[in-house]
Amino acid sequence: MNRGKALHGTVGPSFARGAHDHTVCLEEAVQRAEALCEQRGVRLTKQRRDVLEIVWSGHRPLGAYDILAVLVQEQGRKPQPPTVYRALEFLQDQGLVHRVESLNAFVGCPLPGERHSCQLLLCRACGDSAEMVDPEAVESLKRSAGTAGFEVEKVTVELKGLCPRCASDRAGAGA
């Protein structure tokens, strides 16, 4: 259990680190990406797919230079920053990855294809993340902003704290 639609208000493999088959998780993400790009008539080139796979190597947001380092390691070539940033831009445009503003990092989106504003949960201890969808909160924010006359175009929500595992680890450690 706990794959796909999960706990109330959340989606995706929320903090499933170790509790799911991530090989399958990654494969499915790449397949979803391929299908979407095919369907949209855009090209998921090798560079872009490589970057997507690196981002999806875990559920932990990665910096552009982290991704670059992996590319260098994996390939004989010696890619440069623009390569990574261009791939990330494409993937963001297609809704396949999200930028984590408070970390200057990037993480795979478990819900590509659906236009959604995502709310990110970021563990400060282990670095893992999960995506949550709370339409009620987003509606409330848009309503409040609208009352002030503000036209909302993009909603960024990032919650920092402790994931279930790290929270219980700390509780067990005597806190």
Partner DNA sequence: TTGCTTTTGTTATATCGTTGCATCTATAAC
Partner DNA sequence: GTTATAGATGCAACGATATAACAAAAGCAA
Question: What residues make contact with its own copies under the rule CB under 8 A?
Answer: 6-10, 14-15, 101-102, 119, 121, 123-124, 130, 132, 134, 136-138, 140-145, 147-164, 167
For tokens 């797919």, what's the residue? 49
C-alpha–C-alpha distance, residues 173 and 130, integer Å: 24
Nearest-approach distance from CB 84 to DNA, in angstroms:
8
Residues forming the site for DNA (CB under 7 A): 42-43, 45-48, 63-66, 77-83, 85-87, 90, 104-105
Asked if 159 contacts 121 with a C-beta cutoff of 8 angstroms, the reply is yes
Instruction: Report the sign of the C-alpha dihedral through residues 81, 130, 137, 116, in that order.
Output: positive
Q: Is 32 in the site for Zn ion (CB under 5 A)?
A: no
Q: Which residue, 118, 122, 145, is CA-closest to 134?
A: 118
Q: Which of 22, 32, 116, 142 binds Zn ion (CB under 5 A)?
A: 22
Check residue 155 for interaction with Zn ion (CB under 5 A). no
State yes or no: residue 54 binds Zn ion (CB under 5 A): no
